[in-house]
Each structure stands twice: as structure tokens, then as C-alpha cells.
Structure 1
Amino acid sequence: MSRTFPSLWRVRTALPVYACLALAALPALTGCSDASPSKPPAAVAQSPTTAGTPDAEATAESPAKPVAQAPVHVTIPSLGVNSDIMRLGLNTDGTVEVPPAEKGMTVGWYTGGSVPGEPGPAVLIGHNDTHLGKAVFHDLKKITKGADITVRDEKGTEVHFKVTGRETASKTAFPTARVYGPTDDRALRLITCDGAFDAQGHPVDNLIVYATRR
């Protein structure tokens, strides 16, 4: 994907653009805010997910490849995470959506990336905290290398991933290429917010967990 990576972590209207959301009207430190990987690489953002989309090149002589099914549920046994998955797209400014605060215990899948289990990076986004309290990825920082992540699709098929690493990155230097960039692996990324709070009560870092299909 040869592309210019856009600026990172901008705000959508009154709400921040990634996990760990705090409503702007609430006092500081009520939740995790400003937690989005901002704009993904242009080619990724402009390419819709293949889930539910037939192969346009298929012919009578060349039958269509099996259609990848959208993810609907994720479990991380070691952390006690057991969540449905909602779909996330892009905001009007091109930044990635996040689950609303009232769905703080629900993980979101960025539909502009890969389907979990298919080649390329699939991205799951979860809040750390919201103004309502602890959220689905609150304990993500405790995940260990080798831990299992299981994603189930619409047809009930489960795909298992093995955690290969994690990193904490400043929101001012989000590793867009590493998270969204091309890969031959069937990769999974989990993202939430992390770190100390700034003067506005927004966490200054993001936690990124890397995993590959077993």
C-alpha cells in the first residue's frame, strides 16, 4: 500500500475518534478520550471489507471464492473478555469511528480493514474506560504473549489468534503503517487508550496488541 499516511487522532465533532471515549460535556478524568488511530492509509480507507461481497472476477468456469463472513463475537479467556462485535466505519473527516460510550462493553470492528482470519490486518477497537466506568478493554494491558483471542463469524466459525506482542504509542506518533499497513499474515490488532492524562483529562497514549492466526 503505497500511500501518504494522514495526521493522527483528530476529534469527530464533540466526541473523540477512538477507544476510551469521554463525552466532551463531562468533567475531565471521567473517561478515556481522544483514542483513535485517526485516518488509516488511503487505500485501506477507500476499500470496503470483503465480508459478504462476492468475487467480482468469478465466472462460470471460475467459481467464486468463499465469501469471508463478518465477525460477530470475540473472547479473550485470559482477560475475561466476552463481547459481541459491532461494525465501525469512518467519520466524515476520514477518521475511524469508535463504539459509543453507552456501548463501552462492546468491541468494534473496523470494516475498512481485513476480516479477522483473512490475509491482512483486521482491527478491533475497544474502550478502556468511559464516563460510565470500566469498559471492555480495561485490562488489555495485562494480556501476555501467546494468549488466545477467538473471533466468531456470522456462521459460527471460530478463528483463533495468538498474541505476538504489544506496544504503547503516543497518540502524536501513532504507528499507522504498522497497524494498518499491508501484511501477508492473517493478522489481528486490538487497540485501546493508555497512559497518563493530559490537562484536558485525555489519555496521551494508545495500547496496541498484535496477534496472528494460529
Structure 2
Amino acid sequence: MRSRATAGNTVIAAVTAAALCSGAWLLHSGASHPPPQPSAAEASAAPAAGRSAAPALAPSPPDRIRIPSIRVSAPLMGLGLTASGSLDVPPASEKNLAGWYEAGTMPGEKGTAIVAGHVDNADGPAVFYDLGALKRGATVEVDRRDGSVAVFTVDAVEVYAASDFPDQKVYGAAARPELRVITCGGGYSRSTGYQGNVVVFAHLTGSR
């Protein structure tokens, strides 16, 4: 019998991040510079900066995600699935709100935890606008409801075309505590919006 976390992640469809990607601000403002995109140097699956994995934490729901190097500090809401099988998204009007897939792995426990957030909304840049500028070795911290903080180290930052999104690589089961942070990316067209997704791959390296 599969665990709650393993079973939960396997049902997420390839269209998960499509609803994050309206590009409303770029479309309506006429801004000429889309969000930063990761360079090829950040797209490596090797463990970042030699940091070994920390032991898994006991399950506890997350309350906040912080990424100091890109000035992110945002509350987390629980997300479910839409009727089409894609991950639901936080309300677009809440620009500094991210969400986590609450039927899957909790950040810090063994497995692959999923966090997603908008890159922009109609009013301007949103919570993960600068996600593509994140570097390997950067720190992602998740405040958990039990008072602990799960500390992750970034292994890779990659960008995928929407038509070539690697479901298994992003959502598949992991033998250690891992985290994926997802938003829109891959360039922007006024006719089609964002062309793909930026995905951060990280693993648990500590807690406090």
C-alpha cells in the first residue's frame, strides 16, 4: 500500500502549473522585461555545495516559506487538485501568497514536497517573480506548524517548456526529504503568455 505522500504526488497532472502563468501584468502594463530565467549553470542534479541530506523530520504542516537570497517571505496555504487533475493555485489577487500540495509530502518529511506560487498578477510581480534568479547552494526555509524550521539547500534551478514538463522528475517519489518550488517561466509572449515553468529542486540539509 502506498503512503499518503507517495499516492498524492503521483496523481498530479502535467498541466499543474498552467494556471500560474497568465502573465497578466506583462500583458496589461506593456512591460518589456519578463522575470529572470535560470542559466544553464544552475541546471545540475548534483547535490549543491556538497551539503549532505539531513534526517527526515516528523510530519508537520508548513506555514511559511522564506528564500532570503531573493527576498521571499510568504505564508503558505494548502492546495488540492482541480477537476482536471492539476494542482490548484493560490488566489491571483494575493501576490505574496504561495501554496503547498497538502495531499502529498509535508516539507521536511521523507519524499517530495511541492510548493507553487504566481510569478505575477495584474498589479505587478508576485511572490515567485525572482525564482529564476535563484542559485545552486541557496537556502530555502520552511516554517512548520510544530515550531520547527526545515532548511533546504538548492540543488538545481531549471526551466521547462510547458509541452515538455517532466512530471516524474518534478513530482516523483524521493528517498530523502526534498522540495520543489514551481512558478512560470520559459519566456513570455503577449499572444500565449508564459511559455513554461521554472522549477527549483532542493533537499533537506538541516532544521532548527
**TM-score under structure 2 normalisation?**
0.74
Higher relative contact order (CA 8 A, sep 6+): 2
Q: What is the root-mean-square deviation in Å for CA atoms of aligned residues?
A: 2.8
Q: Secondary structure at the match of 1:18?
A: helix
Q: Deviations over 1:123-146 (max 9, x none)?
A: 100111111210000011111111
Q: Secondary structure at the match of 2:140?
A: strand
Q: How does 1:1-214 map to 2 (within 5 A)?
A: 8-9=14-15, 17-21=18-22, 29-30=27-28, 68-198=59-189, 200-214=191-205
**Separation in structure 1 between the aligned mates of residue 65 and residue 136 of structure 2, nearest angstrom:** 18
Identity of counterpart residues, as a percentage?
A: 32
Look up the equivalent residue of 2:184 and give its one-letter code: C
**Separation in structure 2 between the aligned mates of residue 87 and residue 196 of structure 1, nearest angstrom:** 28
The aligned length equals: 173
From the CA coordinates, give the structure whose radius of gyration is larger: 1
Q: Secondary structure at the match of 2:152?
A: strand
Q: Deviations over 1:168-189 (max 9, x none)?
A: 1011111100011111020000
Residues 65 and 73, structure 2, Cα contact 8 Å, conserved in 1: yes
Residues 22 and 194, structure 2, Cα contact 8 Å, conserved in 1: no
CA apart distance, 1:197: 2.5
**Separation in structure 2 between the aligned mates of residue 119 and residue 194 of structure 1, nearest angstrom:** 28
Unaligned 5+ runs, structure 2? 1-5, 35-56
Task: Report which of the two has the higher share of helix.
Answer: 2
Residues 21 and 127, structure 1, Cα contact 8 Å, conserved in 2: no
